[in-house]
Amino acid sequence: MKISRRFTSADTVVDLVKEDYNILPVLSRFSLPLGFGSATIGQLCDQSGISDDVFLLIVNFLLSGEIDSQRMHHMSAVGVVDFLHNSHDYFLAYKFPHIRANLLGALDDSHTDINPIIVKFFDDFVHHVEEHFRYEENTVFPHVRALASDSHTAYSISTFTRQHDDEISRTLREMKNIILRYYDTSRPYRMYDVLVDICNVEEDLECHNIIENNILVPLVHEAEKRRHKDAAPR
């Protein structure tokens, strides 16, 4: 459920979590250390070397569904790239291995025929996401950093927009549907746990894509336009 309130640097992180605990995975990808105490968002961002403009833009957008165009107008895309890079690490190094381990533990020994198929669905999904993330890490993010440092870059973010795959979780959804419709098990608690993990990671990846499409891409478009304008003969 979207909220109408817009958080500021004077609010506390604890208040933010109380408003919607689903923001917790996002906070983890900003590398905010736990033990928030009564520190404000501005104080914690300053202590952690995080741009509070980037933090508040992303958090408020995910909570309200609205872009703070005033804040976005004067910020760099590099801070967004740093957040997205941390997100890649979160998914690949922690979240996907965690779900896979839970999935293997939930599979029923009686289903020797379908178990390998379910695992392959998940592994194919992870491989697909890895390829997408690798493209961003090797091509898109260096382009953003080059623009920010006024270095040469021949790439265009419109290429990323064309290649951006919003069907990236299709394989995961198919696997979820197989389990929901056809997988009877003697370990229902474990498998329900896995299904919750799958639903959560689907939503999390959708948020990741939304941030890229609605924050990163417009910021980079503007940076490219400024670069072309500065390079044009007068």
Return the pLDDT at 165.
Answer: 60
| Residue 64 located in a structural domain | yes
Are 82 and 22 in a shared domain? no
Q: Which domain holds residue 57?
A: 13-73
Are 108 and 174 within one domain? yes
Residues 68 and 126 placed together within one structural domain of the fold: no
Residues 116 and 227 occupy one common structural domain: yes
45 and 103 both lie in a single domain: no
Q: Of all residues in the chain, what percent carry a pLDDT higher than 70? A: 93
Domain co-membership, 26 together with 99: no
- Decide: helix, strand or coil at residue 170: helix
* Cross-strand pairs, 12: 40
Do 86 and 194 share a structural domain?
Answer: yes
What is the pTM (predicted TM-score) of this model? 0.89
Looking at the structure, do residues 119 and 143 belong to the same domain, yes or no?
Answer: yes
How many folded domains does the chain comprise?
2
pLDDT tens for each residue of 34-89 = 888 888 999 999 988 889 999 999 999 888 888 887 788 778 899 999 999 999 99
Could you tell me which of 157, 103, 97, 154 has the C-alpha nearest to residue 129? Answer: 97
Whether 69 and 164 share a structural domain: no
SS3 call for 12: strand
8-state DSSP, 109: T
